[in-house]
Amino acid sequence: MPTLFTKIINREIPAEIVYEDDLALAFRDISPQAPTHVLVIPKKEIASLDDLEDGDAELIGHLFLVVRNVASQLELADGYRTVINCGRDGGQTVDHIHIHLLAGRPLTWPPG
Ligand code: 5GP
């Protein structure tokens, strides 16, 4: 059963894609929590941080380089926040690991 985000990768569900390469996809969140809210995902189905394998180290590093590139592409010069929710208490709702990239307003701390 493909994940919701794999369906976006396969263009079975529409999304506003801002970046794509062989390993990763970045697209705008359907329910943005900031003026810019992009999700960066691996094309490989990894459910969560808890499901990472040692061999995924390079892939996860790549995702953060994608974050850097998307931030540059979208001209997020005033800064941004990255978030990876994990599990129930972490607020994860889609079981396909993703980095939230949030920008465009001052973000408060601590998070809710
Ligand atoms: P999580 O809560 O798992 O950390 O984040 C999942 C994110 O996926 C949420 O911010 C939610 O708005 C977003 N999302 C859920 N379904 C869709 C969808 O069909 N399309 C897009 N673009 N984003 C989605």
- Residue 112: predicted pLDDT: 83
Ligand 1 atom nearest to 16, measured from its CA? 22
When pLDDT is cut at 50, 70 and 90, the band that residue 42 belongs to is very high
Closest-CA residue, ligand 1 atom 16, reads 30
| Distance in Å, CA 79 to ligand 1 centroid | 22
- Residue 25: predicted pLDDT: 98
Task: Find out whether 67 and 73 touch, Cβ atoms under 8 Å.
Answer: no
Is residue 34 classed as helix, strand or coil in its secondary structure?
coil
Q: Which of 57, 44, 58, 37 is nearest to 9 (CA)?
A: 44
CA distance 24 to 79: 22
Ligand 1 atom nearest to 4, measured from its CA? 19
- 58: its two tokens: 């390079």
Task: Find out whether 41 and 25 touch, Cβ atoms under 8 Å.
Answer: yes
User: Could you report the per-residue pLDDT of 60-112, keeping only the tens digit for each?
Assistant: 999 999 999 999 999 999 999 999 999 999 999 999 999 999 999 999 999 98
Catalytic center residues: 98
Q: Model's pTM, two decimal places?
A: 0.98
Ligand 1 pocket list (CB less than 6 A): 4, 13, 15, 27, 29-31, 39, 85, 91-94
Q: Where are the domains of the chain?
A: 4-103
- Select the CATH number that applies to the domain covering 4-103 from these four: 3.40.50.970, 3.30.428.10, 3.40.1350.10, 3.40.50.1240: 3.30.428.10
